[in-house]
Chain A
Amino acid sequence: MIVIAALLVVLAGGSAWAAGLVPFANRNATVHGTTYDANTVAPAFTLEAAGNKQVSLSDYRGDVVLLYFGYTYCPDICPTTLATLARAREALGANANKVQVIMITVDPQRDTPDRLSAYVQKFDPSFIGLSGTLDQIKQVASGYGIYFQAQKPNADGGYAVDHTAGVIAIDGQGKQRLLESYGTTSDQFASDIKTLLR
């Protein structure tokens, strides 16, 4: 941590000396996530939310959408990610209502829309969970470059699902902008969301 901070001093001070710029004036440099090619349109989808409601990505045009593929039987990676996203929304204050977190299940066999909804709302009442047929989910996931594969069930019939752990950030114009890897902190999410909201 100290090494990183020391490096920041050197970088910030050095660039300020060299270019005469205020540190961090280049907004692109502050983005934490991996950027997609400019003008990458986020693939459209319509899936099922709680209460037999159909939800489309286009319903959230104008908002930053944070798209996560996970499942409710996932005790570790998924709740850690959702808790981080909830904290990121808290950190955004008044801008929080311009952010929609959507979890699409990679386990449609067990995750009904109602179960998903109950699960994601434990983290933040604004979160929504979407399910569909396995074919629908596969199609949406592959459009976003998301991999998932259910493991073989154990003796009790339970099983884990391997899946890409990142969060995809879509801007208000429906462009697929950032891939945030697992381990991205709530502050980093909040900072990147602010950049996308500009």
Chain B
Amino acid sequence: MSLRFARTLLVASSIIAITLIAAACGSSNASPTSSGGSASAGDIVVSGAWTRPMTASMPGMSMPSSSPGSMDMGGTTMPHGSPMAMDMSVTDAVYFTIKNNGNAADQLISASSDVAGSTEMHQSTLANGISSMKPVSAVDVPAGGSVSFDPGNYHVMLVGLHRDLNVGDHFDLTLTFKQAGTVKVSVEVRPN
């Protein structure tokens, strides 16, 4: 192989790598920062709140009228006629970043929004390729640190949407912190 050919190859591969860097940086810049404003209370700043579009009305579940007193659901037994039987709710997840500019730790202890029947804090986990989700009662925000609510990790789950969430819509989410109190943040609806 001639030196000149080798040099051409090296230049070509470098260009590919630089293109990859540019592409990667482009995509990482695109998502979290575009949802506009931030809101704060005390030392806590919440920014970049977003959720995916979702329709509030979906065809409900069918509950076989002939079903016996309990039903097997992959190992979990549900009593027949439980509130779940009437539940036609649609869920969605809200993501954002919390920054604590103070010298003392704080805790996010609850979330609420009038777009949904209830609002819960959850954490998704992945172990051996299996995803699981569990409710969390509080999320620590360390002094001088930040916590990201991101897909695949912490999220605020909206349960039972009262209205459709369409791309471009905004709605309020109120986050309550143990020390800083409440922060009302505007959530942007966007695909990702």
Residues on the A chain within 8 Å of B87, using CB = 110, 156-158
Chain A residues within 8 Å of chain B by Cβ, number: 63
How far is A17 from B4 in the complex, measured between Cα atoms in Å? 11
Return B11 CB to nearest CB of chain A, in Å. 9
- 1/0 contact trace for B174-192 toward A, CB 8 Å? 0000000000000000011
A41 touches B (CB below 8 Å) = no
B84 partner, pick from A1, A77, A83, A153, beta carbons under 8 A: A153
- Does A13 contact B124, Cβ atoms closer than 8 Å? no
A153-B9 CB under 8 A given contacts A109-B61, A181-B129? no
Residues on the B chain within 8 Å of A197, using CB = none
How far is A74 from B152 in the complex, measured between Cα atoms in Å? 11
- Does B61 contact A110, Cβ atoms closer than 8 Å? yes
Residues on the B chain within 8 Å of A2, using CB = 21
How far is A112 from B159 in the complex, measured between Cα atoms in Å? 18
B104 touches A (CB below 8 Å) = no
- Does A153 contact B82, Cβ atoms closer than 8 Å? yes
- Does A87 contact B13, Cβ atoms closer than 8 Å? no
Q: Which of A20-61 contact B (CB under 8 A)?
A: 20, 22-24
- 1/0 contact trace for A82-114 toward B, CB 8 Å? 011011000000000000000000110111101
B168 touches A (CB below 8 Å) = no
B151 touches A (CB below 8 Å) = yes
Residues on the A chain within 8 Å of B27, using CB = 185, 187
A164-B13 CB under 8 A given contacts A76-B122, A112-B60? no
- 1/0 contact trace for A155-192 toward B, CB 8 Å? 01111111111100000000000000111010100000
How far is A87 from B192 in the complex, measured between Cα atoms in Å? 9
- 1/0 contact trace for B64-104 toward A, CB 8 Å? 00000001111110100011110101111100000000000
- Show 29 A/B contacts (Cβ-Cβ < 8 Å), sorted by A: A5-B21, A6-B17, A8-B20, A12-B16, A12-B17, A13-B14, A16-B12, A17-B10, A20-B1, A22-B12, A23-B12, A76-B151, A77-B126, A79-B93, A80-B151, A83-B52, A109-B71, A112-B62, A118-B55, A134-B73, A149-B74, A149-B76, A152-B76, A153-B76, A156-B83, A157-B83, A160-B133, A162-B130, A162-B131
